[in-house]
Amino acid sequence: MEKVYLDNAATTPLNEEVIDAMVSVLRDNYGNPSSTHSFGQEAKTLLEEVRRKIAKALRVTPGEIVFTSCGTESNNMIIKSCVNYLGVQRIITSPLEHKCVAETCLEMKKLHGVELVYLRPDNKANLSLEKLEVLLQNSEKKTLVTLMHANNEVGNLLDLQKVAELCKKYDALFHSDTVQTMAHLDLDFSKIPVDFASCSAHKFHGPKGSGFAFVRKASGLKGIITGGPQERSLRAGTENVCGIVGLGKAWELSIDNMSTYSSYIKDIKNYCKSEIEKNFPEAKFNGESATENSLYTVLNILLPFNNPLIGLQLDMQGVAISQGSACSSGAARPSMVLMSILDEEELENCTPLRVSFSHYTTKADIDKFISALKEVSRDYIIEKQNTEHR
């Protein structure tokens, strides 16, 4: 059976050129970048080339890019260090955040008594900037705002520029989890005054276990992994040279082809949306995922019947999607994001499905997904036809 992969927001397949670049490093560049001899210096040069490439695209200085093992580590480091070293006593966040942000914020509350304030989304997963401004006005405490750029489940986009400017106005620090948008959207940090951001290579055809944190130089952030001078002491430990080179290659390909890839993927997403509308006219789309205010790689569908096993059933048909949910024994429970935006009835009687695309996704993949979805939804379709003919 030929399989179809529609879970690109979870991770993406490695690009062949990325694999080649990584294999070459594994074979030929085993020097430790901290060593002063030529083997070490060759490895160091490779790291610095990647750092420069990333900094150039984000319009920042290379010293503001800190290589880490992933998006989770970057987000942890930023939030924990803001509390440990920058005097943050209050965090404003939302229930839409990825667990690596949500749980880190909760830990800061538990361990350090940090005040946690949640900005509640509306039923389309939008956050009110007016409410954010009120929260920013109403406290003397040193505040960190941590809000993601694009939601990994429903794709909603936050207006980074506006939020960053609000945070500047009220002297709050601003961190954005940009894991779903880095290398997918053009981010100009010379214009957007965000203090911290995060990136993960495996979201754009790079390797797992390689990412970076953007740390604005003036912020004075310190590392939480100590014991070495690597990454200007912001992240001790011998660098993952092969992973960073893989990140660099994936970054270069994504940045160079951004407009071609994005318009191709938008077309695929629109095709998928119209096929869903044609075949499941009662289906809805969660959050802003079917509108322009959404990341072009994600479509979150709300099917008009309840089937918590649908992910498993589609997998058995060779189609990989995500239900945007925590799974136990194959049956999905709605995630925090969906629980924050869906009403009781929708949670009980409907089934959310997240399909996410890459430039490797084809219309034939979408056709296979739709026919598999019709197959696993046969009972619902038959029942609906019977009701209509009664």
Cβ at position 280, least distance to ligand PLP in Å: 26
C-beta of 7 vs 365, nearer to ligand PLP: 7
* 123, 341 Cβ separation under 8 angstroms: yes
**Interface contacts to ligand PLP, rule CB under 6 A:** 70-72, 98, 100, 148, 152, 177, 179-180, 200, 211
| Helix or strand (DSSP H, E) at 215 | strand 211-215
* CA nearest neighbour of 306 among 213, 229, 208, 377: 377
Selection from 154, 172, 79, 164 nearest residue 129 by Cα: 164
167 as an active site residue: the answer is: no
Identity of the residue, 119 or 381, whose beta carbon is nearer to ligand PLP in the bound complex: 119
Whose Cβ is closer to ligand PLP: residue 29's or residue 358's?
A: 358
CB of 179 to ligand PLP, least distance (A): 4
Nearer to ligand PLP, 354 or 368 (CB): 354
Neighbours of 112 (CB within 10 A): 12
Taken as a whole, the chain contains a residue count of 390
Q: Taking the C-alpha atoms of 262, 266, 269 and 273 in order, what is their torsion angle to the nearest 10 degrees?
A: 160
Give min distance, CB of 180 to ligand PLP, in A: 5
Quote the least distance from Cβ 31 to ligand PLP, whole Å: 26
**Structure tokens of 333?**
């429970």
C-alpha to C-alpha distance for 267 and 181, rounded to whole angstroms: 18
CB of 77 to ligand PLP, least distance (A): 12
Q: Note whether 377 and 303 are within 8 A (CB).
A: yes
How far apart are the C-alpha atoms of 377 and 94, rounded to whole Å?
34
Complex with ligand PLP: residue 210 or 230, whichever CB lies closer: 210
Q: Cβ of residue 10: shortest distance to ligand PLP, in angstroms?
A: 6
Task: Give the Cα-Cα-Cα angle 253, 258, 261 (nearest 5 degrees).
Answer: 95
Contact between 57 and 189 (Cβ < 8 Å)? no
Among 105, 199, 327, 350, which one carries the catalytic annotation? 327
Q: Is the CB of 67 or the CB of 280 nearer to ligand PLP?
A: 67
Please report, to the nearest 10 degrees, the dihedral formed by the alpha carbons of residues 268, 273, 278, 284 taken in order: 170
Based on CB atoms, which residue is closest to ligand PLP, 91 or 100?
A: 100
Q: Which residue is nearest to ligand PLP (CB)?
A: 71
Min CB(70)–ligand PLP separation in Å: 3
Helices (H), the chain: 16-28, 38-58, 71-85, 99-112, 129-137, 160-169, 241-256, 258-279, 310-316, 336-341, 344-349, 363-376, 378-389
Closest-CA residue to 91 (of 111, 129, 128, 118) = 118
Q: Are the C-beta atoms of 156 and 150 separated by less than 8 Å?
A: yes
Active site residues: 327
